[in-house]
């Protein structure tokens, strides 16, 4: 049987891509560090002072923002906010048996939380019997996976977002302006918060590792190596705490989505994107994204389990992961 898929999207809205606080107009490298590798000309620049927008320009005016906006104070008295206009993201999907827009009753039954939305046709899927669930062999999990590593990028992010404070002289923040990692004095002040953050996902990791029969310490090490426990959203085509790519999603769906290879290329792409979108927390504060990561930890464990099922051993799974993720 063929079912027709409809995406319910948020209504068009402005989305904050990133916020910059700088003394001089940022170079391209600094923009990429904070905002990702974006085409900045496609975005809007808002100059904000004490929560009030004092000037808006196309974002490629950022190099001359002081003159463009006739700013009366030094640049570091303002926040530079990169905005994506008319942004939409998927709320949920609705299935119908005919290619007509879903009725209010169908939407209420399948997406009860959806209140305001736009509807877009998203393709079809063939309904088949469920695929057998592949799991790696059972493993003995450790009682604790607590770590005490000095993650300088994580410490820098915590300082930058106001959740930690460096122990630096002269009011210096303790964040390297080029790498956004903590400096030594920044790490000295932020270490307690950095340790709490790197271990705050341990319970979720252990539960998901037991569910999918993956080694919990291996899953945590993978997260540490990929993102240092800081949630990123779709930067350079990489998603979530394990920075999984479209190629990685192909492995997951090959193992766990029945009929994946009988889909046409467009349907396969949409299926991969739907799986990857679950890992991202758009328009989220760092704390909200951190809580989202806890709720979706099963997906990270599922991805690691899929690599084991595809390649047959943990060593081969990690080797394939590193190749596919460009390490």
Model pLDDT for residues 189-226, shown as the tens digit of each residue: 999 999 999 999 999 999 999 999 999 999 999 999 99
Residue 128: the pLDDT is 59
User: Which of 109, 140, 297 is CA-nearest to residue 213?
Assistant: 140
The secondary structure element, H or E, covering residue 28 is helix 28-35
Per residue in 269-327, pLDDT (tens digit) is 999 999 998 998 888 889 999 999 999 999 999 999 999 999 999 989 888 887 665 44
Taking CB atoms within 8 Å and a gap of at least 24, the contacts of 256-264 are 256/131, 256/133, 256/134, 256/302, 256/306, 257/131, 258/128, 258/129, 258/130, 258/131, 259/126, 259/128, 262/126, 263/125, 263/126
How is the beta sheet containing 2-9 ordered, strand by strand? Answer: 90-96, 2-9, 118-126
Q: What confidence tens digit (pLDDT) does each residue in 258-271 have?
A: 788 888 888 999 99
Tokens describing residue 174:
């303790």
Give the pLDDT of residue 126.
Answer: 75
pLDDT at residue 131, rounded to an integer: 52
- Under the banding of pLDDT at 50, 70 and 90, the label for residue 50 is confident
Structure tokens at 67: 């003159």
Mean pLDDT score of the chain: 89
pTM for the whole structure: 0.62
Give the model confidence (pLDDT) of 155-176 as tens digits: 999 999 999 999 999 888 899 9
First to last CA, the chain: 41
Report d(CA 272, CA 264) in Å as an integer.
Answer: 12
User: pLDDT digits over 77-135, tens only?
Assistant: 999 999 999 988 888 899 998 888 999 889 988 888 888 889 999 888 876 554 557 88
Q: What local confidence, expressed as pLDDT, does residue 134 receive?
A: 84
pLDDT at 88: 87
pLDDT given for residue 115 in this prediction: 84
């Amino acid at each position: 049987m063929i079912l027709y898929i409809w995406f319910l999207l948020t209504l068009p809205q402005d989305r904050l891509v990133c916020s910059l606080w700088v003394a001089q107009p940022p170079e391209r490298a600094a923009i990429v560090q904070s905002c990702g590798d974006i085409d900045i000309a496609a975005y809007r620049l808002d100059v904000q002072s004490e929560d009030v927008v004092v000037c808006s320009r196309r974002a490629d005016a950022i190099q001359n923002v002081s003159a463009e906006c006739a700013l009366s104070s030094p640049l570091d008295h303002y926040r530079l906010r990169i905005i994506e206009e008319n942004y939409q993201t998927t709320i949920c999907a609705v299935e119908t048996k005919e290619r007509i827009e879903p009725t209010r009753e169908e939407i209420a039954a399948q997406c009860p939380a959806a209140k305001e939305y736009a509807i877009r046709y998203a393709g079809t899927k063939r309904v088949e019997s469920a695929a057998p669930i592949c799991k790696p062999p059972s493993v003995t999990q450790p009682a604790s996976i607590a770590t005490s590593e000095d993650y300088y990028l994580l410490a820098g992010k915590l300082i930058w977002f106001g959740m930690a404070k460096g122990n630096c002289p002269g009011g210096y923040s303790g964040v390297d302006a080029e790498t956004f990692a903590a400096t030594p004095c920044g790490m000295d002040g932020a270490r307690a918060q950095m340790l709490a953050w790197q271990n705050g996902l341990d319970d979720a990791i252990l539960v998901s590792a037991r569910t999918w029969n993956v080694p919990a310490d291996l899953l945590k090490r993978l997260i540490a190596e990929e993102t240092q426990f800081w949630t990123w959203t779709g930067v350079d085509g990489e998603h979530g705490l394990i920075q999984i790519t479209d190629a990685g999603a192909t492995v997951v769906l090959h193992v766990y989505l029945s009929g994946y290879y009988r889909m046409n290329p467009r349907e396969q792409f949409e299926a991969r994107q739907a799986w990857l979108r679950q890992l991202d927390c758009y328009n989220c504060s760092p704390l909200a994204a951190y809580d989202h990561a806890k709720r979706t930890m099963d997906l990270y464990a599922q991805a690691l389990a899929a690599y084991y099922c595809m390649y047959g051993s943990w060593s081969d799974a990690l080797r394939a992961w590193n190749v596919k993720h460009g390490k």
